[in-house]
Amino acid sequence: MSTITTVMRPGARLGLLGLGAVAGLVVATALGPAGGAGPVRAESGATAEHTIAVTGTGTVTVKPDVADVRLGVQVQKPTVKEAQAAAAQAMTAAVAAVKKVGVADADIKTTTVSLSPMYDYSQGGSGKLIGYQFTNQVAVTVRDISKVADVIDGAIAAGANTVDSVTFRVNDPVGAEAQARTAAMADAKSRAQALASAAGVRIVGVASIAETSAPVPVPMAYPAGAGTKDSYSTPIQTGTNDIVVTVAVSYVIE
């Protein structure tokens, strides 16, 4: 009996191994999905939540207990030095009068200091420089609201000649805001329930809530030189403030 010996060159062996690997890959790919070894894909048929979106508003009326007063001095003089000196003298006296009423230093804040040239354009052309205007204004927080008139009248008597505004507010609006928020949510729920009933569905949860709040101040404007030391006391009516909270609520329905 004769024996046949086959000698394989190294390159040929590698070629056979390569063919085997390719064949194995083809078989694995073909069997992958059937064998459960393929990638897992998310279901695309998930049902989205159905919602009703509404807004609700809650309002609480409060009596203000703090006033913010903006007043100051505006002076016109031929030179910068004269304008600055006159404004400084008048403003110093006005601030002293405000403090005399009982306003603390921490509640008086300078808001404007400005100097502007003044021109006469009555003769045409580029105008003739006739002087300078110096303005100095402060914001005064009056915590004893019964003294607002005294603050204004005292400042004017001492030299202030501008009162830009008086605004009333509540020093601590947290309690009123909480009440308004509760009322706003009740309003939103009532609206949503009415819609759900009309549509034949029911509310099963809340998807989202967003809130906005708006305390409404009571402004009062006064013209420059609103009074003099010989005039009647400035009448002040504080009125009331509305604390308003609005919520946007999305309810889940089924």
In a domain, 26, yes or no: no
In a domain, 88, yes or no: yes
**Which domain covers residue 128, as residue numbers?**
64-170+218-226
pLDDT in tens, the chain (254 residues): 444 333 344 444 434 334 344 334 333 343 444 444 444 444 444 556 899 999 999 999 999 999 999 999 999 999 999 999 999 999 999 999 999 999 999 999 999 999 999 999 988 888 899 999 999 999 999 999 999 999 999 999 999 999 999 999 999 999 999 999 999 999 999 999 999 999 999 999 999 999 987 765 555 544 444 444 455 788 989 899 999 999 999 999 99
This prediction's pTM: 0.66
Q: Quote the pLDDT of residue 25.
A: 36
In a domain, 185, yes or no: no
In a domain, 163, yes or no: yes
Q: Quote the pLDDT of residue 97.
A: 98
Complete edge-to-edge strand list for the sheet that includes strand 128-142: 108-120, 128-142, 66-77, 162-169, 218-220
In a domain, 191, yes or no: no
The 3-class secondary structure across 51-87, one letter per residue, is EEEEEEEEEEEECCCEEEEEEEEEEEECCHHHHHHHH
Nearest-5° Cα angle at 31, 25 to 36: 120
Q: How many domains does the chain have?
A: 1
Q: Quote the pLDDT of residue 125.
A: 82
In a domain, 29, yes or no: no
Q: What type of residue sits at position 9?
A: R
In a domain, 130, yes or no: yes
Say which residues have a Cβ less than 8 Å from residue 185's Cβ, sequence separation at least 6: 56, 58, 247, 249
Q: Quote the pLDDT of residue 8.
A: 42
Q: What type of residue sits at position 129?
A: L
In a domain, 176, yes or no: no
d(CA 177, CA 215): 9
Give the CATH number for residue 165.
Answer: 3.30.70.2970
